[in-house]
Amino acid sequence: MGLIVAILLAAAPEANLSLLRPASGSDGLLGVEGARPPNDPHEVLQLQIGFDAQYKPVRLGPGARIESRLAGWAQLSARLNDQVSIFAQLPVMLQQTGDLSALGAPQPAFGFSVGDIRLGARHAFLRGPIDLAGQIALELASGHHQSLTGDQRMGGEALLSAAQRRGDWELIGNAFVRFRPPRDVGPVRLGNEVGLRGGAAWWLSTRSRAYAELELQTSLREFAQQSFPIEWRLGTTLCATSAIALDLAAGTRLDDGLGAPSLRGVVALRYTPSLCSPPKRETGPEPGLKELVARIAKERAEREQAEQEKRIPGLLEPSEAAAREALVRSEASDLLPVSEREAASRAALYGEEQTRDSDGDGVPDAIDNCPHQKGPADNAGCPRAEKQIVALRDTRLEILDKIYFAPGKTLIHPRSTRLLNQLAKVLKSHPEVVRIEVQGHTDSSGGMAMNLALSQARAEAVVGALIRRGVSKDRMVARGFGPTQPIATNATPQGREKNRRVEFRVARRRAAGEVIEVAP
């Protein structure tokens, strides 16, 4: 009798029939791996928790069926550097229903159990118009005995991923080979596998996307329909906050392969700030640093030449200075009364401009960020609900925050959107500020030429962002100073952080009906 029981247990299924393996990072979709491991040093970790409901994932006839399965997973991925990330996935089975008695499992594990834990690493090989990355994963033998969620032996997977983004569309493809022990599940012979995954995502906005996925794999041990599962899924990603995203997806099988359910529903919650950032638009390759330095040098040379040409007439006509001075003196006595009246009129107009208070909140329009909305003086004349981080001064626009960029790049971080919106609103509310100089500064790290080019490019990026928010481009000029004007020591990380900044100097303003240059 004991021998019979041992034979039955030996024939019991010990195969992992969980087809869906969640993508290990936010650059992918639900089950399709991405090709851009995160390279933002501010986003070190990504978390994901998901639940997967399946209807009839295993169909081998009476006494050999899984009617339903409720599973889940927890995942943690970590960035090691700009090219490499690692991840760990803990799959669990919450509940199964079915009958596996025909497979020699009289008492199968249908309650809560842990599946085969996955550990892996990803490496980016190419970033550009087409992104390429490779991934290696190990599956540990941690699955519960006779639950169809574990192979009871360690397995591995090697995967190559490619992705391309065009405007609002993104295409991703995977090719993989999985090494697993040979297993027989009824008449189906399973073993090492090869497979393909593909997906297409359409960004509906900067905070939501819809996508479709297709997944297929086949056993190399035996090419048969039931060892060749095919499944497709439709899903959407919605950003609830700047860091939390929700995934909803549903799919179904396209054949009778084991592991492809008749119906699947998935919900997942992610912590991944980069996913809710605006998707990268394809604008072609960025200009090289040498070309950028050459362009800035050429523009500076042209500007210096123009300034020199303006000085030439004064150098060629020194003899006329005395004659002009005599003429001015002779005319001054006639023009003095008129000049005095004009000066008095301008002084009165200037005083009226400085004390005008359109909304009657006690904050003069000249320094009121919201001249047509009442608000307290400690919030720059705006309602308290709109916390102000910009203050208009005589010679500058003072910002209480800073504009953040991706390290070593000109891409403005989404966390600076609020500051840019307020800057644009203040400039549009104060047309008397005729021209501002957007100044870019860096720390002393790196070469002088690179820092000058980077600071100029970042200043131009801020000007472009304000233009897109409705500020006239004729009111702004960008200037890069590199590391030449530090405000703190470059010997400490804190000092270098302060020196990497963008400042806004009022270069020209209108006062008493006249446009005047503001001294730096």
Domain harbouring 207, CATH code: 2.40.160.40
Q: For tokens 């626009």, what's the residue?
A: 397
Same domain for 97 and 214: yes
Assigned domain for 317 exists? no
pLDDT tens per residue, range 182-210: 988 888 899 999 999 999 999 998 889 99
Maximum mean pLDDT: which of 149-153, 185-189, 467-471: 467-471
Assigned domain for 171 exists? yes
Same domain for 422 and 348: yes
Contact (Cβ atoms closer than 8 angstroms) between residue 451 and residue 482? yes
Same domain for 382 and 263: no
Same domain for 272 and 183: yes
Q: Give the confidence band of 5 by pLDDT, cuts at 50, 70, 90.
A: very low
The dihedral over CA atoms of 28, 34, 39, 42, expressed in degrees to the nearest 10, equals 10
- Percentage of the chain with pLDDT > 90? 50
Q: Concatenated DSSP letters for 189-235?
A: EE-SEEEEEEEEEEEEETTEEEEEEEEEEEESS---GGGS-EEEEEE
d(CA 93, CA 18) in angstroms, rounded, equals 10
Sign of CA dihedral 100, 103, 106, 110: negative
**What integer pLDDT is reported at residue 510 of this predicted model?**
86
- Rounded to whole angstroms, the maximal C-alpha distance in the chain is 131
Structural tokens at position 215: 């997944």
Q: Is the pLDDT of residue 107 over 90?
A: no
d(CA 255, CA 298) in angstroms, rounded, equals 64
Assigned domain for 286 exists? no
Same domain for 195 and 132: yes
End-to-end CA distance of the chain: 98
d(CA 280, CA 409) in angstroms, rounded, equals 14
Same domain for 152 and 25: yes
What are 511's strand-pairing partners? 514
Last residue of a domain, one of 254, 276, 298: 276
How many residues comprise the chain?
520
- Per DSSP, the three-state class of 114 is strand
Q: Give the confidence band of 261 by pLDDT, cuts at 50, 70, 90.
A: very high
**What integer pLDDT is reported at residue 6 of this predicted model?**
38
Last residue of a domain, one of 241, 276, 311: 276
**What integer pLDDT is reported at residue 344 of this predicted model?**
61
pLDDT tens per residue, range 373-412: 888 988 888 998 889 999 888 889 999 889 999 888 889 9
d(CA 181, CA 382) in angstroms, rounded, equals 68
Same domain for 254 and 109: yes
Cα-based angle 440, 411, 28 (whole degrees, multiple of 5)? 165
What are 198's strand-pairing partners? 173, 214
pLDDT tens per residue, range 282-330: 444 445 666 777 788 888 888 888 887 777 776 666 666 666 776 666 6
Q: How far is CA 347 from CA 298, 367, 372, in A?
A: 43, 19, 25
**Strand-pair category, 514-517 with 113-114:** unpaired
Same domain for 345 and 270: no
User: Mean pLDDT throughout 111-119?
Assistant: 88
Parent domain of 368? 331-517
Assigned domain for 306 exists? no
Assigned domain for 150 exists? yes
**What integer pLDDT is reported at residue 303 of this predicted model?**
84
The H or E element containing residue 460 is helix 448-468
Q: Determine whether 321 is exposed, middle or buried from the number of CB atoms within 10 Å of its CB (0-12, 13-18, 19+).
A: exposed
Last residue of a domain, one of 257, 276, 295: 276
Sign of CA dihedral 410, 414, 415, 418: positive
Assigned domain for 299 exists? no
Q: Is the pLDDT of residue 477 over 80?
A: yes
The H or E element containing residue 382 is none
Contact (Cβ atoms closer than 8 angstroms) between residue 112 and residue 94? yes
pLDDT tens per residue, range 428-446: 999 989 999 999 999 998 8
The dihedral over CA atoms of 123, 128, 129, 133, expressed in degrees to the nearest 10, equals 0
Same domain for 225 and 109: yes
Same domain for 339 and 264: no
Same domain for 174 and 103: yes
Lowest mean pLDDT among 221-235, 278-292, 471-485, 494-508: 278-292
Assigned domain for 310 exists? no
Residue 28: name the closest of 232, 165, 204 by CA: 165
**CATH code of 508's domain:** 3.30.1330.60
Same domain for 171 and 76: yes
d(CA 293, CA 307) in angstroms, rounded, equals 21
Q: Is the pLDDT of residue 216 over 60?
A: yes
- Per DSSP, the three-state class of 163 is strand
Contact (Cβ atoms closer than 8 angstroms) between residue 374 and residue 368? no
**What integer pLDDT is reported at residue 279 of this predicted model?**
46
Cα-flanking dihedrals φ and ψ of residue 263, to 5°?
-155, 135
d(CA 124, CA 160) in angstroms, rounded, equals 10
Rg of the chain's alpha carbons, rounded to an integer?
34
Tell me how many domains the chain contains. 2
Cα-based angle 2, 114, 144 (whole degrees, multiple of 5)? 15
Assigned domain for 28 exists? yes
The DSSP letter of residue 412 is: B
